Chains A and B, each alone.
Chain A
Amino acid sequence: MSELTLTVMRLGFLAVLWLFVIVAVQVIRSDLFGTRVTQRGSRRNADARPPQGAARQTAAPPAQRSQGGRQRRGAPTKLVVSEGILTGTTVALQGQTITLGRAHDSTIVLDDDYASSRHARIYPDRDGQWIVEDLGSTNGTYLDRTRLTTPTPIPPGAPIRIGKTVIELRK
């Protein structure tokens, strides 16, 4: 057997062995993260959804606005629980819908006798303005002092009361 063939086999074998190790690590990697983050873009207009890269490249005002309000100047960046058992909890606002309630799959699980299982949700509208909506709760959701009946934009710093819990949006 020629020297060249043997050298190729030797290096090829090492390469295959390492490939196995790397593939095994990839399998572990897919196992490592217990949660899956899915980005879903919902189409609001007849217009096709631009690819993420394109939106970033143009950086034009419309594209910026499509980012769910993250880039809006003066927009709140986090949700803070200011009263109740969860006082001090903060959730970063990154364009996702935040659900509140006693159900286990809520973003903020309220351990509160006066909260319903699916109590309210907070989400950004198409302009990036954060909206709070009561989901037909038993005791209602209060923005400042008024009980919500329709989805309402949240003014900065306004307290939202759910049962014994009060949350605020802050910058």
Chain B
Amino acid sequence: MSVVTNTTTIGAIEAPSRRNTELAMLAFAVIIPVLAYLNVGLAINDEVPSGMIGYGLGIGLLAGVGHLVVRKFAPYADPLLLPLATLLNGLGLVLIWRLDQSPRLIDRANRIFGSFTPDAPKQLLYSAIGIALFVAVLLLLKDHRILQRYTYISMAVALVLLIMPVFFPAVNGAKIWVSIGPFNVQPGEFAKIIIAIFFSGYLMVKRDALALASRRVMGLYLPRGRDLGPILAVWAMSILILVFETDLGTSLLFFGLFVIMLYVATERTSWIVFGLVMSAAGAVGVATFEPHVQQRVDFWLNPFAQSTWEQSDQIGQALMSFGAGGTLGTGLGQGNSDLIGFAANSDFILSTVGEEFGLAGTMAFLLIYGLIVERGVRTALAARDPFGKLLAIGLSGAFAIQVFVVAGGVMGLIPLTGMTMPFVAAGGSSVIANWALIGILIRISDTARRPAPAPAPSPDAEMTQVVRP
């Protein structure tokens, strides 16, 4: 007869570094875009694309450099952030390359600009710069708490970055660009990271005043008037961005980011209510007298109106492309999302995903974005210092809002705004800034997941008092 005593031991998992998991996922994340590249070549040109080896090696090399740097300088970092971002970047490159092959877009470019330059090589270069910045963040930022020292400097820098585009000519109705020589930079993309640093530094100091000094009125905690100051200032700033730069997306991003971080810092639902009411009031107010914003709302409500079709055709075509995709999509290289014309490979790139990958693929895409945000929030939960918590929440919140604003705009859920799908859309600023964002998140997660130093040996036994009978 056998006798077994089951003993259950519950112990903390010794923090594994998970670098090998990351490497495996990274290899997976490089293979998927290479397959997609092959698929596009076979579908469009009926042959294995000649650039496949070079392309695969290029993205593999970038991913490999990223992985080695993480392995060396952030050994306990989250294993998923880098592979997820690499996959999105790689698929973005494939989609841009696929749209470069479109005869319609080549014709259009030749007709309007007189020449056609493919965007995919440029995007690969931007990705390389992005990875370089990612590496630089990991090398230079040994501890994210250093950023805390630059709270107010980063506020000033963010304001300058946000105001700069006012002095440059508008591109396609929105002043979000700064042109320096041949380069067009979207400072808003970088400002989103810097402003998250300011908010976390500021809220870390002020959160108790904001959370505790409040009166309860009708089930809502109303903060004191003087504590409302900063939220009013940020609100005013985002409204000013909306008015002077006619950039709905950026203003939504900043205000949303501030409300999210206020809520996380203070745990007061009233901030959410305030934020929603104020942003709704601001948006409606601006929309009534700013013609550009009003036009965007009109296009959103009636994308197929005959009278404005000349201008709203992009939105209409995007909606049609989602419909044409159906559940499983038309297959890579076989859709007609190039009918969108202008900005088909930047702001509207999600409609190519929608048409050629279908609902199934779009869901997977959005899930990958969701996973990045989830890892960010998880990092915030695990972080041991309040600044790191707020910064991780802020960065992942900004990322989430950006995805929502772009995807919602392209799908017709909210008025379209000029923002780019992180990592996927063509555009240097977006890719570079988002790689820096992932770099900071990886730095925070490395600090958060690093095993805590062993507690000082407690002299328990010595301290036990002896009962004197």
Contacts and interface: CB of A to CB of B under 8 A. Distances in A.
| Same assembly | yes
A50 B2 CA distance: 7
Contacts of B46: 1
B4 A49 contact: yes
- In this complex, the interface size class of chain A, counting residues with CB under 8 Å from chain B, is 35 or more
B6 A67 contact: yes
A13 to B, nearest CB: 6
A39 B6 contact: yes
B4 A114 contact: no
A115 B29 CA distance: 54
Interface in A92-112: 94-97, 101-105
Interface stretch (A3-11, A72-80, A152-160): A3-11
Interface string A27-50: 110010111111111111101111
A114 B465 contact: yes
A21 B464 contact: no
B367 interface: yes
B52 interface: no
B334 interface: yes
B13 A49 contact: no
Interface string A10-33: 111110111011011101100101
Contacts of A45: 1-3
Interface string B350-385: 000000011011001001100100110010000000
B8 A95 contact: yes
B371 A24 contact: yes
A139 interface: yes
A117 interface: yes
Contacts of A68: 4-6
A94 B1 contact: no
Contact of B83 (A11, A24, A41, A42): A24
A138 interface: yes
A116 B8 contact: no
B332 interface: yes
A10 B464 contact: no
Interface stretch (B31-39, B119-127, B149-157, B225-233): B31-39
Contacts of A12: 35
Given A1-B42, A14-B361, A95 B466 contact: no
B306 interface: no
Given A9-B42, A14-B329, A116-B464, A50 B4 contact: yes
A1 B83 CA distance: 32
A37 B465 contact: no
Given A13-B36, A47-B2, A68-B6, A23 B28 contact: yes
Contact of B460 (A38, A96, A103): A103
Contacts of B9: 37-38, 40, 96
B153 to A, nearest CB: 35
Given A1-B43, A38-B9, A114-B467, A25 B4 contact: no
Contacts of A48: 2
Contacts of B455: 104
A56 interface: no
A18 B360 contact: yes
Nearest to A36: B13
B12 interface: yes
B460 A10 contact: no
Nearest to B84: A24
A98 B334 CA distance: 64
B180 interface: no
A132 to B, nearest CB: 16
A138 to B, nearest CB: 5
Nearest to B13: A36
B7 interface: yes
B331 A20 contact: no
B79 A27 contact: yes
A124 B5 contact: yes
B3 A44 contact: yes
Given A6-B43, A10-B332, A13-B35, A66 B3 contact: yes
The winner among A12, A31, A102, A123 for most chain B CB atoms within 10 A is: A31
A24 B461 CA distance: 46
Given A27-B21, A102-B460, A43 B4 contact: yes
A170 interface: no
Interface of B: 1-13, 18, 21, 25, 28-29, 31-32, 35-36, 39, 42-43, 46, 79-80, 83-84, 87, 328-332, 334, 357-358, 360-361, 364, 367-368, 371, 374-375, 378, 455, 458, 460-461, 463-467
Interface of A: 1, 5-7, 9-14, 16-18, 20-21, 23-25, 27-28, 31, 33-45, 47-50, 55, 62, 65-68, 94-97, 101-105, 113-117, 123-126, 137-139
Given A44-B5, A67-B6, A138-B466, 8 more contacts: A18-B364, A20-B368, A24-B83, A28-B375, A40-B8, A40-B9, A49-B4, A117-B460
Q: 8 tightest CB-CB pairs across the interface, nearest first?
A: A117-B460, A10-B331, A47-B2, A96-B8, A41-B4, A102-B460, A44-B3, A17-B364
